[in-house]
Structure 1
Amino acid sequence: MRVLLLEDEYMLRVSITEFLEEMGYEVVGFSNGEKAFDAIYETHFDLYLLDVNVPGMNGFELLRSIRKEGNKTPAIFLTSMVNVSDLQEGYKSGCCDYVRKPFDLTELQIRIMHALKSYYHDGESKIDFGSDLIYDTENFTLTHGGENISLSKTEKEIFTVLLKHTNQVVSVEMFQDEIWGEYVDPANIRVQINNLRKKLPVDIIQNRRGLGYIIER
């Protein structure tokens, strides 16, 4: 999962980044709204964490702009603004949550997990693929018969992308964009996917020849 963090307070940006990276997220941080706005059109992100009062384009303006373009990626505002009118403005801009500063990082973790689960997994806490294969959307773990299936970082990312696009074919180009953010040899991507498929006791990842891969539910 790749997170865009817009926060102009340096130490808070560093603290949030380190905390989320320990959880396994990839975090790209910005202190300027216009630079963050440009990055959204250059790189795929799975979540936006946006401060409001930042140099350049503020958080409200940024989110309103990308929502008008059809971007529906979940967004959480992180702000010291406390007025009800500011809260209303945040939700009108298109956020899914609004966290008032100061906040505990554990609270942020809970809100992030809720936002991702609600957006990508329709609020399900556990996804049952049959044959006792379960994906826990809160802990991002895959188990079979109660035993954890050990996956590499890249295999987890591949599975996450496929699950996020359930019932949709994911092309090699989509994997390149959402996981690496740059060109990667398609043969290497196919090797990684095949390695993942071998670890799964149920063949839930289907190959659509010439198109890509899909998880159907």
Structure 2
Amino acid sequence: MNKILVLEDEPMLADMMSSYLESFGYEITLSDNYDEALSFAYENHFDLLIFDVKIIGGNGFDLLDELRNSGVKTPCIFTTSLNGINDVTKGFKAGCDDYIKKPFELAELLLRVENILKRNFCQNSQDIVINEHLKFDILQKRLLKDDKPVLLSKKESKLLALFLQNKNRILSREEIYSQIWDYDELPSELSLRVYVRNLRKIVGEDRIISHSKLGYEYA
């Protein structure tokens, strides 16, 4: 079931959008203000965001811009009465995928939702299942547990992606260093051990095997 975060501060419209989309099988989370929507987007995994622009505590443009800058790539539709070309341009520059002008028909909204989710599925259907609770979004370098994000450092995410893409192959420390550390950084064996230990706690102690003098293997 696709999960959608709807940010709309007009209660009647929010209820109409929620009920209509739920009738087509979507799971809807409603919010009516900037801060709450920001928290929802950070703490949960959504397949789509639908943001009004004029909202309590800020505006949808700034909210999406903040999410994009923090690495959230979930597709977004703006709904707004601001329909000048400058507003449309600002919306797309903030990182939206579609822009629907108010007032709109709910059937039109549904068509746009279906189109974006279909397109996004084709682009992002590269989740790697680790176990019944864990999966890794290989494109966004994001680990999900029961569809909720698991906090990893940037290097831990890159290391897990490297392991998953090279299952049952021993990766030398030198290969790992070249893939995980930037060219201007000094690789650290101690740091690598810490990253491996942290990942083992999440994916299972027996999944990442240490081969003396050779490297590590994800099995």
TM-score by length of 2: 0.60
Give 1:168's aligned amino acid.
Answer: I
**Aligned structure 1 segments of 4 or more residues deviating by more than 2 angstroms:** 164-171, 173-177, 208-211
Question: Is there any run of 5+ residues in structure 1 with no aligned partner, and where?
Answer: 123-163, 183-207, 212-217
Q: CA RMSD in A?
A: 2.2
The answer to whether structure 1 residue 22 and structure 2 residue 23 are counterparts is: yes
The answer to whether structure 1 residue 173 and structure 2 residue 127 are counterparts is: no
- Matched residues in 2 for 1:96 and 1:44: separation? 18
State the SS of the aligned residue for 2:50: strand
Q: CA deviation at 1:170?
A: 4.6
State the SS of the aligned residue for 2:100: strand
For residue 12 of structure 2, what is the aligned residue in structure 1?
11
- Matched residues in 2 for 1:117 and 1:170: separation? 24
**Relative to 1, partners in 2 of residues 1:7 and 1:170: Cα closer, same or farther, differing over 3 Å?**
farther
- The Cα offsets for residues 1-59 of structure 1, whole Å up to 9 and x where unpaired, read as 11000000000000000001111111000110111001111111110000000011310
Give 2:43's aligned amino acid.
Answer: E
**Relative to 1, partners in 2 of residues 1:55 and 1:93: Cα closer, same or farther, differing over 3 Å?**
same
Q: CA deviation at 1:117?
A: 1.2
The answer to whether structure 1 residue 113 and structure 2 residue 114 are counterparts is: yes
- Matched residues in 1 for 2:88 and 2:118: separation? 22
For residue 59 of structure 2, what is the aligned residue in structure 1?
58
Give 1:173's aligned amino acid.
Answer: L
State the SS of the aligned residue for 2:13: helix
Q: CA deviation at 1:168?
A: 2.5
- Matched residues in 2 for 1:108 and 1:176: separation? 30
- Matched residues in 1 for 2:62 and 2:69: separation? 11
- Matched residues in 2 for 1:177 and 1:66: separation? 22
Question: Is there any run of 5+ residues in structure 2 with no aligned partner, and where?
Answer: 136-143, 150-167, 169-202, 208-219
**Relative to 1, partners in 2 of residues 1:27 and 1:166: Cα closer, same or farther, differing over 3 Å?**
same
- Matched residues in 1 for 2:117 and 2:3: separation? 12
Q: Percent identity?
A: 39
Between the two proteins, the alignment pairs up a number of residues equal to 143
- Matched residues in 1 for 2:37 and 2:127: separation? 31
- Matched residues in 2 for 1:2 and 1:170: separation? 21
Q: CA deviation at 1:165?
A: 3.8
- The Cα offsets for residues 163-184 of structure 1, whole Å up to 9 and x where unpaired, read as x543623541347432xx59xx
- Matched residues in 1 for 2:127 and 2:31: separation? 34
Whether contact under 8 Å (1:43, 1:177) holds in the other structure is no
- Matched residues in 2 for 1:170 and 1:115: separation? 27
- Matched residues in 2 for 1:117 and 1:46: separation? 11
Whether contact under 8 Å (1:76, 1:98) holds in the other structure is yes
For residue 91 of structure 2, what is the aligned residue in structure 1?
90
Whether contact under 8 Å (1:46, 1:74) holds in the other structure is yes
- The Cα offsets for residues 192-211 of structure 1, whole Å up to 9 and x where unpaired, read as xxxxxxxxxxxxxxxx9977
- Matched residues in 2 for 1:70 and 1:176: separation? 18
**Relative to 1, partners in 2 of residues 1:13 and 1:170: Cα closer, same or farther, differing over 3 Å?**
farther
State the SS of the aligned residue for 1:70: coil
TM-score by length of 1: 0.61
